[in-house]
Amino acid sequence: MRQQATFLLILLALICCLPAVAAAQDASLEQALRDLGLNDPLVTLEADRALVVYQQPVAEMGSIEAELERVARVLALFGDRLAPEAEVSLQQRFDDGQIMQVVGTPALGNAFLTGEVDATAFEMALRFEPLTRGPLIFEGTCSPATGDTCETQPACACYPNESCQPANPAANPKGCLTTTEPANAHLEGTEYACNDGYVWNLDMTGCEPTLVCPEGTQLTDGKCVAPVAAEPTSLLADQPQIEETQEPLTGLLDPTWILWAGGAICLTGFLVLLVLVIVILLVRRRKS
């Protein structure tokens, strides 16, 4: 009985320690992310994927090369926790309300850090998924913290389903008030984000189901279209055309020309023979 009680006590102690061990692992991972420069990172780790959510001040964004290296180091950090090809999503929450998600794999991050792929190939291999609509592209910058609004700064322009009402208490920091809620979207702070399985339409007025193109087609401007096949060209067709600068030789085969040529030859032969005969006669007379 004493041995059974001791065994039960040890088992209960192990069970109680398991959550603490898991929490310590998460805490160490989040601390490693802080060491890489991520602000307030939160990690959701599953068997075949991971999600990292962190705050990103726009003013603290570095160069493209520096940001790519940081993304690669975050991806590589999960190399001993996930399979090499498991997806790791980095969800950047900017201080202007926008949310960008970057998806990669530990193997891809290691390939960039070891020099197997360059920055261009690494950036092309990453998947960028804007969860919010992103800022409208206008000249200048929008800084609501310094008093910029949609009335005073073009870069603070409102979306098509919003109106500019800075005096309205319900308006967002830019002074924009939602007049029509985007379909299939939800609020993430002060900005709308598409629900899972939806993407923003071209007008940025609502979200539509993610379009999956059938085999043999590709997504172009929001539509599935068949790729345009290049027309086969002949090698002869590629050669430059050479203009004929010489006159055709058909005149050489003219029967009249042939008759004249034959007559001239015969006449020349007759004259040569006549000269020979005269020379021979003169020689004989001289000998006699």
Q: What's the DSSP call for residue 62?
A: -
Q: Is the pLDDT of residue 18 over 50?
A: no
Q: What is the pLDDT of residues 82-116, one digit of tens each?
A: 999 999 999 999 887 889 999 999 999 999 999 99
Mean pLDDT of the chain: 79
Looking at per-residue confidence, does 232 or 41 come out higher?
Answer: 41
- As annotated, the residues of the chain forming the CATH 3.30.70 domain(s) are 24-131
Q: Is the pLDDT of residue 205 over 80?
A: yes
- Read off the pLDDT band of 130 (50, 70, 90): confident
pTM above 0.85, yes or no: no
* 53/34 Cα distance (integer angstroms): 12
**Structurally, what CATH architecture does the domain formed by 24-131 represent?**
2-Layer Sandwich (3.30)
Q: What's the DSSP call for residue 111?
A: H
Q: How many helices (H) and strands (E) does the chain have?
A: 6, 13
Q: Is the pLDDT of residue 238 over 70?
A: no
Q: Is the pLDDT of residue 11 over 60?
A: no
Q: How far is CA 138 from CA 63, 95, 156, 158, in A?
A: 21, 18, 8, 11
Q: Is the pLDDT of residue 140 over 50?
A: yes
Element (H, E) at 44: strand 39-45
Q: Is the pLDDT of residue 195 over 60?
A: yes
In the chain, the percentage of residues whose pLDDT exceeds 90 is 43
Q: Is the pLDDT of residue 185 over 90?
A: yes
Residue 229 DSSP SS3: coil
Q: What is the reported pLDDT for 158?
A: 92
Q: What is the reported pLDDT for 227?
A: 66
**Kindly report the CA angle at 46 between 40 and 48, in degrees rounded to 5?**
125
Q: What is the reported pLDDT for 255?
A: 60
Q: Is the pLDDT of residue 244 over 80?
A: no
Q: Is the pLDDT of residue 261 over 50?
A: yes
Q: How far is CA 280 from CA 268, 283, 287, 288, in A?
A: 19, 5, 11, 13
